[in-house]
Amino acid sequence: MKTAIRNLSFNELKRWSEKNKLPKYRTDQIFYAIYSGNVNDFNNISTIPADLRTLLNEEFLAVSLELVEDIHSADGSIKFLFRTHDQKYIECVFMPHDSGRNTLCISTMTGCPIGCVFCASGKIGDSRKLSQAEILDQVFLSQSKLNSKLTNLVFMGIGEPLLNYENVVHSIEMLTSENNHIFSHRKITLSTVGVPLKIRQLASLKEPVKLAISLHATTDGDRSKIIPTNKTYSLSEIMNDVEFYYRKTHLPITYEYILFSGFNDSDNDAKRLAKIARRVSSKINIIPFNEIALSGIDSKYKPVDEDGITLFIEMLESYGVKATRRKSFGSDISAACGQLAGNKIF
C-alpha cells in the first residue's frame, strides 16, 4: 500500500527527492503545497511539472482519509465523518464561535480504550491509533470544506491523545512548524484524562500546547466510578504532573468538569474542585452532560439543569476560582462532548 505523504517529515521527503534526483527546491514546493497550501490532490500542485505530479501519484497517497459526509447542526457546527483505509469511521467537529474563533475538534484514535462511562467513544470497541497523516488530514480536509479559516485546534475527539503520543506530537510539530505557520502552539489544546509520565513528557515540546484535564470528579472514589484508569493513576499523581507541566510551560491549565445530577454537583464538590484549581493558574470549564443515548448508548448518569449549572458556577466563584459554562456544539447531530462514536457504527 502507498504511504500517505503527510506521514513523512520534511527530512524524509527531502531524502525521497534526493533519491529521485530532484532539484532541492522541489522538496520545498511539495511541502509548502501539502501544508501551507492545503493541497489535497497532487494534480493541483501547479508549481511542479506534470511528470513530478505523476511520480507523486505513483508513490504516495495525497490523503489518508475519505470524507464520507458532513452533517450540519442548527447552531452552525459541522460534524465531518471520515473513513480510514481499513474501513474504520472517525469524526471531527467544526465549532464557530461568536467571537470569530473557529475551532476544529479532532480525533486521535478509531475508538477509545479508556471506557469513561459518560462517553460514547469508549463503546466503539476498536481503538486503533490514528497515524500522523490520519490526524493531520482531518484538519486539511475539513478546512477545504469550510468557508472560514480555522483559528484553533483541540485534541478532544475520539480517543485519548496521550495513548497515541508519538503520532499526536509529530502532528502538533508539523502544524506549528515555522515552515508551515498553520497554527500557533497557543491556539492548540490537548485534552487528557491523564496518562502516567506522558503529561511530563508533553511539557518538553519545543512549542508546548495548552493542557486540558478531563477531571469530572474531585475524589479518587468518585472518579474511579466514571473513569476506570483513575484506579491506577490517581488524582494526586495527575495533579503532581499538572503542576510540573505548568511550572515548565507557564501555560494556564483548563479543568473540564461535566456535571452529573446528584453525583458531583454538591457544595463539597465545588470546594474540592476550587482547591484543585488553585494549585496553579487555571480555569474551569463546566460542561453540561450530553445524553449519549443519542448515539445508541444509555447512561445511568443524568444531567444537571441550567439552574443547577449556574448555582455550581456561583459556588466555585465564591471559593475564588474562575469558572465558565462551556457551550456544547452539535448536540442535535450527536457531535457534542461525549457523543462522538462514528455515525456509521450505530
Which domains are delineated in the chain? 3-61 (1.10.150.530), 66-333 (3.20.20.70)
Confidence at 333, pLDDT banded by 50, 70, 90: low
> Which residues carry out catalysis?
91, 337
DSSP string over 180-217? T-S--GGGEEEEES--TTHHHHHTT-SSPPEEEEE---
Among 123-137, 147-161, 214-228, 242-256, the minimum mean pLDDT is found in 123-137
pLDDT at 119: 86
For range 290-306, the mean pLDDT: 70
Find cell 447512561 and name the residue: 299
Closest CA to 191 of 210, 212, 172: 212
What is the per-residue pLDDT across 107-149, written as a single tens digit (0 to 9) for each?
999 999 999 988 877 777 668 999 999 999 999 999 999 988 9
Are residues 312 and 270 in contact, defined by beta-carbon separation less than 8 angstroms?
Answer: yes
Q: What is the pLDDT of residue 178?
A: 83
Regarding pTM above 0.85, the answer is yes
**What angle, 0 to 180 degrees and rounded to 10, lies between the N-to-C axes of helices 306-318 and 267-277?**
50
Mean pLDDT in residue range 316-323: 96
Closest alpha carbon to 207 in 232, 224, 223, 190: 190
Angle between helices 132-145 and 165-176 (to 10 degrees): 50
User: How far is residue 1's CA from residue 235's CA, in Å, rounded to a whole number?
Assistant: 43
Element (H, E) at 237: helix 235-249
The mean pLDDT value of the chain amounts to 92
In the chain, what percentage of residues exceed pLDDT 90?
83
Q: Is the pLDDT of residue 258 over 70?
A: yes
Q: Average pLDDT of 236-253? A: 97
